[in-house]
Amino acid sequence: MKKIGILGGVSHHTTIEYYKRIMDLYSQRKGDLNYPEIIIYSLSHGEFKKYEDFNLIDNYVDYISSGVESLIGSGAEFIAMAANSPHRVLDKLQERFDVPFVSALDSAYNASVKQGVKKGLLLGIKFTMQSTFYQDKFEKGGIELITPNEGEQDLVDEIIFRKLINGKDIDIESKNAILEVVSKYPVDGIVLGCMRLPVFSTTRR
């Protein structure tokens, strides 16, 4: 069994969820104690976000790469990034490292194709919504992906950073605010481009 490398810390709550789900799924499917070996490298969210906020992409790639190098040095045979935004530079990481990366973009795209989505709305932090890496991936398969307007992006971003990334449950007011944004756009699918956003889909309205 290959050793799994998880690049986490962005946020640490997502990293914990990644680890837990992998272990729970293994237990459900196999029912034995031969759990996979997992190596976690946790980045500093503050340092990471600084590079995103100021669009310092070279520093961003170097910082993410330092975590990947640590994972590979510890024996990881493939890497999963427990966040959406670093997928903006996935192509650069793949050029630097001879190790497979599990792509959240591929997962979201494949699920959208399976569900027959033709036009989707991308939600996430502003860095993700204002980048094009999701759109570039989806357009190759003929799926149009749009984003909310700037004011609505500010709202979604604020909810993510004020509540979800801090590990808080989303409240009904915040959930309804996001649903109001969604209701304004004629789409047949929603891409939750933040690892913490699925929390709001399970909250009672």
Q: Are residues 49 and 77 in the same domain?
A: yes
* Residues 91, 124 within the same domain: no
Q: Which element (helix H / strand E) includes 40?
A: strand 38-42
Asked if 112 and 189 sit in the same domain, the reply is yes
Indicate the residue among 48, 79, 102 that finishes a domain.
102
Is the same domain home to 118 and 187? Answer: yes
Distance between CA atoms of 4 and 62, rounded to whole angstroms? Answer: 21
CATH number for the domain harbouring residue 130: 3.40.50.1860
How many domains does the chain contain in total?
2
At residue 169 the predicted structure's pLDDT band, cuts being 50, 70 and 90, is: confident
Last residue of a domain, one of 81, 102, 123: 102
Q: Are residues 137 and 179 in the same domain?
A: yes
Shared domain check, 116 and 173: yes
Q: Which of 102, 117, 143 is the last residue of a domain?
A: 102
Strand ranges across the sheet with 101-102: 38-42, 4-8, 78-81, 101-102
Residue at token pair 């975590």: 67
Whether residues 63 and 115 share a domain: the answer is no
- What are 80's strand-pairing partners? 6, 102
What pLDDT shows up at residue 204?
A: 44
pLDDT of residue 151: 97
Q: Which domain holds residue 58?
A: 4-102
- How high is the pLDDT of residue 199? 65
Please tell me whether residues 34 and 86 are part of one structural domain. Answer: yes
CA separation (Å) from 178 to 89, 169, 170, 191? Answer: 27, 14, 11, 13
Residues 87 and 137 in one domain: no
**82 and 149 inside one domain:** no
Nearest to 40 by CA among 64, 16, 62: 16
Per-residue model confidence as pLDDT tens digits over 30-72? 999 999 999 999 999 999 999 999 999 999 999 999 999 999 9
Mean of pLDDT values over 110-125: 96
Structure confidence at residue 201 as a pLDDT band (50, 70, 90): low
**How high is the pLDDT of residue 164?**
86
pLDDT band at 198 (very low <50, low <70, confident <90, very high): confident
Whether this model's pTM surpasses 0.85: yes
Helix ranges (DSSP H) in the chain: 12-30, 45-53, 57-73, 90-96, 104-114, 126-129, 133-139, 150-159, 172-183
The residue type at 67: G
How many angstroms from the chain centroid is the CA of residue 157?
14
Sign of CA dihedral 111, 113, 117, 120: positive
Given a cut of 50, whether residue 75 has pLDDT beyond it is yes
Residues 123 and 158 in one domain: yes
Same domain, 24 and 94: yes
Residue 165 has pLDDT above 90, yes or no: no
Instruction: Decide if pLDDT at 124 tops 90.
Output: yes
What is the residue-averaged pLDDT of the chain?
A: 93
Whether pLDDT at 87 is above 60: yes
Q: What is the pLDDT of residues 7-27, one digit of tens each?
A: 999 999 999 999 999 999 999
